[in-house]
Amino acid sequence: MTDRAFAFRVTHRDGLARRGELSTAHGSVQTPAFMPVGTRGAVKAITQRDLLDLGAEIILGNTYHLYLRPGDGLIARAGGLHRFIGWDRPILTDSGGYQIFSLAAMRHIRDEGAEFRSHLDGSLHLLTPERASDIQTQLGSDIAMVLDHCLASASDEAASRDAMERSAAWAARARARFLDPGRSPGAGLDVIVSNPGQAQFGIVQGGVHPALRTESVERTVAIGFDGYAIGGLSVGEPVEVMYEVIGHTAPLLPEDCPRYLMGTGMPDDLIESVARGVDLFDCVLPTRNARNGQLLTSRGPLAIKNARYAEDLSPPDPDCGCYTCRHFSRAYLRHLYLSGEMTAATLNTLHNLYFYLDTMRRIREAIVFGSFERLRQEFRQTFSRRPQH
Ligand SMILES: [Zn+2]
């Protein structure tokens, strides 16, 4: 552990599922936990007050976006990301790697780092493992991620090995930079340390190839991080393959460190991953789908624009206790969506995030009471990935 502010404790186990508590410089997080994605310092369509009402204990910010606009220097001078965005609970920032692979107008990966052109103005940037660490030092998140070499799709073994090897080499450099004494406040490196209690997680790569995953775990754990992420999944591989890779990888990671599955997924993915030993999640799915008119309910996805809801006065999800479901009908939400009202995005997002966070609450309770497997079976029976009819 790099700082006393950061700690992780597993309090209960039920099979491979773990109930725990993550302590950070900005308070604690009950795990397993889902992190709403606040890409550019805002969870789209809702306010920080809404996040508090929803019971969100940690959110995610995207380094790529914040680095390009408004810039990590400006955020550091404003007192760090927490103060800048008015959120004093924990924040995790990613390293920018995934966005370079999915968003940048151009990218060129070499051992030194990832060179890319901004999708905003075409300007040229070089993100090295050291620079990605420094940017997050300036942002002052509670958990920083190392820069990794992401592959945008399920790839063959040679490409996966190449990305895994480069990720391991970059992880060692990122860790060295993070632990550099010059990083301490007021010394050495020309960066502002916005949060001295920041922790840093490594990322396991290796695609869908178990032997590469094993090697990646060994090499990443040998460097020694405060927590470990499983990266490179949810990139188009079949869901059963994703579960296999998680089931293979998560138990290899240190028992006493948090395990974070990056960028996943559907509500049933959360339960299935907790069953395999994962503690932390993030995904744009609940917020992005909300803006596209898809409500994720206890029965499955519901497309609110569907004509069959035109006069349906029932709540979106009769089993949900969120603000949206307690006050509004499917007919009204459909009307808002079809009219292009901004409130549609807000109300849909409130519901989807509530559903995700409430699912995590139920998971945590079930682990404590030893009934996680029963919850998992119930969820399998009621939740369907196919849209409701
Ligand atoms: Zn609801």
**Distance between CA atoms of residues 71 and 84, nearest Å:** 12
Please calculate the CA angle 24-26-29 and round it to the nearest 5 degrees. Answer: 55
| Tokens coding 96 | 């920018």
Q: Which of 30, 2, 8, 60 is nearest to 197 (CA)?
A: 2
What pLDDT score was predicted for residue 105? Answer: 80
**Distance between CA atoms of residues 211 and 217, nearest Å:** 10
Residues in Cβ contact with 381 at an 8 Å cutoff, skipping those fewer than 6 apart:
none
Residue 330 C-alpha to ligand 1 middle, in angstroms? 11
Residue 321 C-alpha to ligand 1 middle, in angstroms? 6
Residue 315 C-alpha to ligand 1 middle, in angstroms? 8
Residue 28 C-alpha to ligand 1 middle, in angstroms? 26
Residue 313 C-alpha to ligand 1 middle, in angstroms? 14
Q: Which residues pair with 346 in a beta bridge?
A: none
- Tens of pLDDT, residue by residue over 94-127, are 999 889 988 888 899 999 999 999 999 999 999 9
| Contact present, 139 and 182 (Cβ < 8 Å) | no
**Distance between CA atoms of residues 117 and 126, nearest Å:** 9
What pLDDT score was predicted for residue 152? Answer: 75
- Tens of pLDDT, residue by residue over 174-214, are 999 999 977 766 555 689 999 999 999 999 999 999 999 99
What pLDDT score was predicted for residue 184? Answer: 64
- Ordered by start, the domain boundaries in the chain are 7-31+62-283, 291-382
94 catalytic per annotation: yes
Choosing from 50, 94, 148, 269, the catalytic residue is 94
Residue 381 C-alpha to ligand 1 middle, in angstroms? 20
What pLDDT score was predicted for residue 189? Answer: 66
Residue 143 C-alpha to ligand 1 middle, in angstroms? 30
Choosing from 50, 279, 282, 317, the catalytic residue is 282
312 catalytic per annotation: no
**Distance between CA atoms of residues 355 and 349, nearest Å:** 10
Q: Give residue for tokens 């790697």.
A: 97
Residue 127 C-alpha to ligand 1 middle, in angstroms? 40
Mean pLDDT across the chain: 95
Q: What are 8-14's contacts with CB under 8 Å, separation 24+?
A: 8/226, 8/227, 8/256, 8/257, 8/258, 8/279, 10/255, 10/256, 11/368, 12/367, 12/368, 13/367, 14/366, 14/367, 14/370, 14/371, 14/372, 14/373
Whether 288 has a pLDDT exceeding 90, the answer reads yes
By the CB criterion, residues less than 5 angstroms from ion ligand 1 are: 317, 320, 322, 324-325, 351
**Distance between CA atoms of residues 313 and 329, nearest Å:** 5
**Distance between CA atoms of residues 81 and 41, nearest Å:** 8
What pLDDT score was predicted for residue 7? Answer: 98
- Tens of pLDDT, residue by residue over 229-256, are 999 999 999 999 999 999 999 999 999 9
Q: Which of 45, 102, 63, 4 is nearest to 342 (CA)?
A: 45
Please calculate the CA angle 60-293-268 and round it to the nearest 5 degrees. Answer: 60
CATH superfamily for 7-31+62-283 is Queuine tRNA-ribosyltransferase-like (3.20.20.105)
362: number of Cβ within 10 Å? 16
Residue 260 C-alpha to ligand 1 middle, in angstroms? 26
| Tokens coding 248 | 């293979």
